[in-house]
Amino acid sequence: MTAQPLTVRTRPAEDPGADDAAPPRVSVIGTGYLGATHAAAMAALGFAVVGFDTDEAKLRALSLGKVPFYEPGLDELLTEQVEAGRLRFTSDVAEAAASADIHFICVGTPQMKTSHAADLRYVEAAVVSVVRHLRSDALVVGKSTVPVGTAERLRALVAENVPPGISAELVWNPEFLREGKAVTDTLHPDRIVLGGTSPRAEALLRTLYARPIAEGTPVVTCDLPTAELVKVSANAFLATKISFINAIAGVCEAAGADVTVLADALGHDPRIGRQFLDAGLGFGGGCLPKDIRALMHRAGELGAHRAAQLLQQVDEINMGQRERVVDLALEACGGSVLNRRVGVLGAAFKPDTDDVRDSPALNVAAALHLRGAQVTVFDPKASDTARSTFPTLGYATSPEEAVEGADVVLVLTEWAAFVESDPARLAALTHRARVIDARGKLDAGRWRAAGWEFRGLGRPAA
């Protein structure tokens, strides 16, 4: 049976404010970082939402308004929507399927253990499970980041598994969340991409997104392959920009130039812009590394070898920054960190999150620990998650405790508390006031004036 355009009655696309139909009901399949945020946001936009997951403990926490990770504003939004009765959670996929007209697929697509390819088992299982339990016509909307060509295969799975007499349409609506700003990015997105939609599916999704559309958010409609490529291409471009400035930082160090000033000058060019031009430790987290590697792998499969080669270089430059920071720490300590005390400020891969997945900060801290250093880490939000990943490192409860008695201090995550800290007060606590700014955010003159030996990536040594 082939999937047909859905027949759910909805407002016409050109009149999202009409009141001739009941609001569509929403399910969100997968309540991880993306799913929990999307479910709370859809409820905040006024829709009845049910979130599905197989993790009972997580569902109990979410039902109490507790998010099992740190994301500014999400706890409050979740609590508000649960208490308002617009948002609930279930571990019964049949209930979730029967309770909604639109089903958002928000499960993870991790990197496979044996290659750079994305592991699509969870996406495929989620789609099949929902479709098999449909009791009325429905729209299945993919939000997970997937390799191009995935959605077309999922459409075939929908056709094979949809119950007789039921119409189900699968489309793609990629997410563009930034950790630390996910609530704002969901409620007020900078663009909405709708891939592979029939006129009725587009109308239904325009109804869901009526509020941000009314605020001026542009809507891009396209085919399925284009929609699948938008998110990974955006991530690949940002990763390329970061790796470019990190490569230039190496030139700056060799020439005695200052990459931070150079980046400011480049950023005044409107064709380039200043964002993502901070030379430093490089990117990490649960998205950029796996997404560029998955795109690299898929590009190779498709014979687009130039793209694959470019992304290989981007990845190598990024990973090389971690080695460079380790080398700077060794240099600062006279060639060896054995039995030296190293204070590390930052564990999360970026500020305003407790996410330590593929964190460059923890990678550097662990590398120094393996070389015999006594490493003490402090992070305002990520110390607990870091401890569960790297329990052999030492952890402090404050920046002061982390730097106490240190032979060298590394600033590895650019939390505002670190950038704005009093360098004179911290210097007095160290064994020797040496700092490596691996994020390019410290005021070198201010720290040097407070007595610190200062090194930064792509910045003059003195």
Q: Which residues are catalytic?
A: 287
Give the integer Cα–Cα distance in Å for 170 and 157.
10
Pairing of strands 374-378, 394-395: parallel
**Closest Cα to residue 291, out of 30, 36, 29, 34?**
34
Contact 390, 362 (CB under 8 A): yes
Strand partners, 88: 50
Give the integer Cα–Cα distance in Å for 285 and 248.
23
CA distances from 374 to 251, 340, 407 (A): 32, 6, 10
Contact 145, 174 (CB under 8 A): yes
Q: Which amino acid is at 408?
A: V
Contact 82, 119 (CB under 8 A): no
**Closest Cα to residue 451, out of 432, 460, 461?**
432
Pairing of strands 192-195, 374-378: unpaired
What's the first-to-final CA gap in the chain, in angstroms?
A: 71
Give the integer Cα–Cα distance in Å for 209 and 395.
44
Pairing of strands 408-411, 49-52: unpaired
